[in-house]
Structure 1
Amino acid sequence: MGFVDTAVTSPWFYLALFAVAALDGFFPVVPSESMVITAGVYAASGGPELVPVVVLAALGAFAGDHVSYVLGRGSGGRLVRRARPGTRRHRAFGWAGRTVAERGGLILVVARYVPGGRTAVTLTMGAVGFRLRSFSLFAGVAAVSWALYGALLGYVGGAAFEDDPLKGVAVGLGLALSVTVLVEAVRFIRRRRTSDHTTGGTTGDVAADVAEAR
């Protein structure tokens, strides 16, 4: 905790926060959300200022999304084709392609809260040539809402456990995990309903064909 205290209260922390949020946009193994939540926890007790935390996290996320978009635009469909069938990456790209075609830029806002989803969506948008102006608009909304969400989650935990930042971080991360689980549960239920509906329609068609043949 002493190391974390020193790191979070350092003036260089703001630059690190921006860099990690940007990197997470196209390299989704960097724990940017955890870093934003931790910053929010310490902001509640006078550590880094809350407003700069939100601004820099949002700017970093916005920049990272555009890097991912440019990578997708430059490589075309190669990144999508390289994803092996049956893998999580292949499913993420498949989901991204379908949702971008159906809902456009709005899915970019939702995808920022889906593990691995935002990178798949931004790469796919670049690959399919989604209009940059619209992409930037939705990417801005997604980045600001995500930064506010993470920082305020941490701030709530930090305010509740001002004398014990570790508990504040645990509460913030727990709330974020709960939101992620909820989003994934809703997606799972919708997939099941869609699958059942499709199966039902196919079965009905087969039954009709059999009846007609008789």
Structure 2
Amino acid sequence: MQWAYVVIFVLLVGDCLLPFLPAETSVIAGGALAAGGQLRLPVVLVATVAAVAAGDLLTHEAARRGGRRLFGRWTGKGRPRRVLTKVSGALQRRGGAIVATGRFVPMGRTAVALATGYARFPRRRFVPALLVGAVLWSCYMVSLGYLGGRVFDQPYTAAGVGSVVSIAVTAVFAIRQARAPKKQHEGPNGRISDELHGQGRAQG
């Protein structure tokens, strides 16, 4: 089943620009298959980390090089500069944390990769934070599949259960964020979080 590693890699790279791809499910399935001995756990983990990092970096670089023109079309006349100022301020204060944790937020991977590229976030800060986030997320998702594979005899059943758990956790996080007091999402540069979420909706 050597092709399975390639499938996981391709889906995860493409997931950054095409979020409807079943990338998370493929990673969980890879972990479940590793638990059953069909795949090698270290290889699944390495393929996942490499794909997440590659996809985010490609999207970031694409936004860095051509994002201003595209972003201007999405947001309308006059607004891109205001959004850029707010996003840049947020990244300056806590850019590393935003990049590292963006993958755990619904649509966060795409929004963060595009926003950091568009705002010209320094690569020397982006890449280390990206790698930390890629490792953390990959360990989390592969572990869901692996533990499920240990509990259930069928790897596809384990993948299904793991996917449901992942969706549930993400949904709970999204609901808590939506219900949080509005002032928590604001900072010295204004409604930064709202602007980032607005980008995510535009990209979706």
TM-score range, shorter chain: 0.7 to 0.9
Q: How many residues align?
A: 179
Question: What root-mean-square deviation, in Å, do the aligned CA atoms of Structure 1 and Structure 2 show?
Answer: 2.4
TM-score by length of 2: 0.78
Q: Map 1:35-184 to 2 at 5 A.
A: 35-83=26-74, 97=87, 99-161=90-152, 163-184=153-174
Deviation (angstroms), 1:154: 0.6
Q: Residue by residue, what CA displacement relative to the aligned partner does 1:183-202 show, whole Å, maximum 9, x if unpaired?
A: 1022112254648xxxxxxx
TM-score by length of 1: 0.75
Aligned to 2:19, what secondary structure does the other structure show?
coil
- Matched-pair contact (CA < 8 Å) for 2:25–2:160: no
Distance 2:63 2:96 in 1: 15
- Matched-pair contact (CA < 8 Å) for 2:32–2:155: yes
- Matched-pair contact (CA < 8 Å) for 1:58–1:147: yes
Identity %: 33
Residue 175 of structure 2 corresponds to 185
Any stretches of 5+ residues in structure 1 without a counterpart?
Answer: 1-9, 196-214
Any stretches of 5+ residues in structure 2 without a counterpart?
Answer: 186-204
Deviation (angstroms), 1:178: 1.7
1:187 partner amino acid = Q
Q: Which has the higher contact order (CA 8 A, sep 6+)?
A: 2
- After superposition, the Cα gap between the structure-2 partners of 1:79 and 1:105, relative to the gap in structure 1 and judged at 3 Å, is farther
Deviation (angstroms), 1:125: 0.5
- After superposition, the Cα gap between the structure-2 partners of 1:47 and 1:147, relative to the gap in structure 1 and judged at 3 Å, is same
Deviation (angstroms), 1:76: 3.5
Distance 1:84 1:178 in 2: 31
